[in-house]
A and B are shown apart, each in its own frame.
Chain A
Amino acid sequence: MTLKRNIQELRKRKIEVQKGGGDKAIEKQVAMGKLTARERILAILDENSFHEYDMFVAHLARDFNMEKKVLHGDGVITGTGTIHGSPVCIYAQDFTVAGGSLGLMHARKITKIMDHALKMRVPLIGINDSGGARIQEGVNSLAGYGEIFFRNTLASGVIPQLSVILGPCAGGAVYSPALTDFVFVVENISKMFITGPSVIKTVLGEEISMEELGGARVHCETAGNAHFYAKNEQECFDQIKKLIELIPRSNTEKAKRVETKEPQKKYNIEEIVPENPRLPYDIKDVIRSITDDSDFFEIMELYAPNIVIGFGRMDGQTCGFVANQPKYLAGVLDCDSSDKAARFIRYCDSFNIPIITLEDMPGYLPGVDQEHMGVIRHGAKILYAYSEATVPKITVIIRKAYGGGYIAMNSRHLRADFVFAWPTAEIAVMGPEGAANIVFRKEIQEASDPEAMRKQKIEEYKEKFANPFVAAAQGYIDEVIEPAETRSMLLHALSVAENKSVSMPRKKHGIPPF
């Protein structure tokens, strides 16, 4: 009979812990438009797949009357489960328990599940909803953060790490998401900042709302700290599930291959790109005209839209796309777009995802602000990331490939495996207007009608150099292809590159221009 009683006691205890911070606190959470930590985990994972660990962990704080307080699960729920049948480790901070504040045992639960994820080589998903450090636990709370950051860094490039910001994530706490691969935010719910609006007001006299300072939109559009923007939590969970489906479980595997599908008929590659290289179009339509089922999962859609990054499948295999976007800022490279692309290239390289680069850009964005923000250092990140990447690297030059940007966008010189160019490609040291002004300066100056001469010389230059054949003659381009051949050439290249193997000089690690 004691066994039965013990089981009853266990069930009673479980029910008690599952109440989190109690009805009142849960009511508050709901009033803020938020789901509870447990609801979130269950919504992300496959049905009945969640297994919770460390449910009965209790805090050890003895100061400030803390010994009298019971904090269920110490304010965080941890465990494992599956997404589309694939295992993941997950934790969710429970704002209803002491504001989800991070104390020693709370941190220990998180680091335990992180160690588990790293050892088992499965993705880690962290849901952040916390008021910050638990002040009553003093320096132990800081130690907890440090232990988390250290593990984020160790796991970086080994297992995918996703951070989901579903509440406040302020002060030191922000550095865990910053160290992870993908950050998800939700409008009106996510709040991320180092120093909050009240401190900024008292110390600096600047007034700003929480949403304007560190809301979802700001992090996606302005700061570039977050990768996925959602209107509500459900949309955010769908993004997480889709991402997990597209990426491999760890750096020792490839993404799961699915059945191939032809692109949809409505994306006709021959009708998307205007012949005039000065006119814009949406590069995403070109990507969709190439990928399986015209599916493209974009990352950082709102940040630096002059470059587009994301995943699409080719013959059932996940590929990373990096593409200049002529629709915004003519598709130029600048500080932000360089950061965005470089990090993504490194992600793909870490996780065995081939990179397809679509190139149509007039060069770097001119401007004092760009130079003073360090466009040299930022731009170098793209060069570094492409040069260092050893996954299959394929480039398609659609129209403009001018100057330094041509080199940066996965050129042959940075060891692209395949470089294809459309007949509309212009591979040249600079655009025809700028080049003609320099090369024919004397003729233009001395002409009786300089403007007419300038036009004539620009045409001359265009005729001679604004085409793919000068570069093709040097072997810098493998093949000039018709636009309609793009998908079949890419599929061919990917299949040839499937067992690609290159060796790099042995080193501890490089020194990228961070």
Chain B
Amino acid sequence: MENIDEKDYGEYPTLSISSGLYKTELTKKFKERKNWVVPNPKKIYAIIPGTILDVYVKSGQSVKKGETLLILEAMKMQNQITMPFDGKIKKVYIQPDEVIKKQHLMIEIA
């Protein structure tokens, strides 16, 4: 790959596009973009911000796929959050009446 050492452009960041290296300014949006993380199916996050109305499971409890874990009220809707597969609850991170944000970790499955 080509060396970029022209002094005038020293302060510019380098961006790689298809193995080519470019001296260029970055945009705010580009710098603030989120990095991709592999989703972990054992961790159940809130898909929408809201309030926990009820929690039906405890840590250590065995739960079948499809059974309701908790009710998350958001946008005036009571959302049933269900077990994605048969398993045991490792930890419950929320309690009734708690107001949570989007992407808040609610339950972890063992």
Contacts of A432 in B (CB 8 A): 20
Which of B18, B24, B75 contacts A328 (CB under 8 A)? B24
B93 at the interface (CB under 8 A from A): no
A423 at the interface (CB under 8 A from B): no
Interface residues on chain B, number (Cβ under 8 Å): 33
Q: Does A330 contact B (CB under 8 A)?
A: yes
Say yes or no: is A98 at the interface (Cβ < 8 Å to chain B). Answer: no
Q: Is the CB of B17 within 8 A of A363?
A: yes
Residues of A contacting B100 in the complex (Cβ-Cβ under 8 angstroms):
205
B30-68 at interface with A (beta carbon < 8 Å) = 30, 33-36, 49-50
Chain B nearest CB from A461 CB (Å) reads 12
Instruction: Name which of A139-147, A248-256, A275-283, A340-348 contacts chain B.
Output: A275-283
Contact A433 B19 (CB under 8 A): yes
- A203 on the interface (CB 8 Å rule)? yes
- Produce 1/0 per residue, A194-236, CB < 8 A to B: 0000000001111000000000000001100000000000000
Inter-chain contacts of A29 with B (CB < 8 A): none
Contacting pair B17 A326 (CB below 8 A): no
B36 close to A368 (CB less than 8 A): yes
CB-based contact A221/B17 at 8 Å: no
B19 to chain A, nearest CB (A): 4
Question: A279 touching B27 by the CB < 8 A rule?
Answer: no
Q: Which interface class (under 10, 10 to 19, 20 to 34, 35 or more) fits A?
A: 35 or more
| CB within 8 Å for A433 and B1 given contacts A280-B25, A328-B27, A363-B17 | yes
Report how far A411 CA is from B95 CA in the complex, Å.
Answer: 59
Contact partner of B29 among A222, A332, A431, A437, CB < 8 A?
A222
In the bound complex, what is the Cα–Cα distance between A274 and B18 (angstroms)?
21
Contact at A433–B20, with CB atoms within 8 Å?
A: yes
Smallest Cβ distance from A79 to chain B, in angstroms?
Answer: 41
Across the interface, do A330 and B29 meet the contact criterion of CB distance under 8 Å? no
Say whether, besides A280-B24, A362-B17, A367 and B6 are in contact (CB < 8 Å).
no
Please, which residues of chain B bring their CB within 8 A of the CB of A206? 49, 101
Q: Determine whether A430 belongs to the interface, using a CB cutoff of 8 Å to chain B.
A: yes
Task: Please give me the residue from chain A that is nearest to B21 by CB atom.
Answer: A278
Asked if A434 contacts B27 (CB within 8 A), the reply is no
Interface residues of B in 57-87 (CB under 8 A from A): 74-75
Known: A365-B17, A431-B18. A203 touches B75 (CB 8 A): yes
Whether a CB of chain B sits under 8 angstroms from the CB of A327 is: yes
A362 touches B20 (CB 8 A): yes
| Bound form: Cα–Cα A279–B29 in Å | 22
- Given known A205-B100, A305-B27, contact A431–B34 (CB-CB < 8 A): no
**Secondary structure of the B side of the interface?**
loop
Q: Quick one: CB contact mask for A425-463 with B, threshold 8 Å, 1 for yes?
A: 000001111100100000000000000001100100000
Q: Is A278 in contact with B23, judged by CB distance below 8 angstroms? A: yes
Q: Does A402 contact B (CB under 8 A)?
A: yes
Across the interface, do B25 and A363 meet the contact criterion of CB distance under 8 Å? Answer: no
Residue picked from B12, B30, B49, B101, most chain A C-beta under 10 Å: B30
Q: Which residue of A lies closest to B3 (CB)?
A: A278
For the complex, give the distance between the alpha carbons of A372 and B30 in Å: 14
Is A329 a contact partner of B20 (Cβ separation < 8 A)? no
Closest A residue to B102 using CB positions: A204
Determine the distance from Cα of A455 to Cα of B99 in the docked complex, in whole angstroms: 58
B24-A431 in contact (CB<8A): no
Residue of B nearest to A431 (CB): B20
Contact in complex: A280, B17 (CB < 8 Å): no
- Tell me whether B6 and A279 are in contact (CB under 8 A): yes
In the complex, A400 Cα to B27 Cα: how many Å?
A: 21
In the complex the two chains form, what is the Cα distance from A331 to B22 in whole Å?
10
Cα distance A366–B30 in the bound complex, in angstroms: 11
Chain B residue at minimum C-beta to C-beta distance from A200? B49
Q: Are A279 and B9 in contact (CB under 8 A)?
A: yes
A369 in the interface (beta carbon within 8 A): yes
Q: Is A306 engaged at the interface, CB distance under 8 Å to the other chain?
A: yes
Residue among B27, B33, B35 facing the most chain A CB atoms (10 A cut-off)? B27
16 contacts between A and B (CB under 8 A): A205-B49, A222-B28, A279-B6, A280-B22, A306-B27, A327-B24, A328-B24, A328-B26, A332-B17, A363-B18, A367-B33, A402-B18, A431-B20, A433-B19, A433-B20, A434-B20
Known: A205-B101, A278-B20. 13 other contacts (CB 8 A): A206-B49, A276-B2, A276-B4, A276-B6, A279-B4, A280-B24, A326-B22, A330-B17, A330-B24, A362-B18, A362-B20, A434-B18, A455-B1
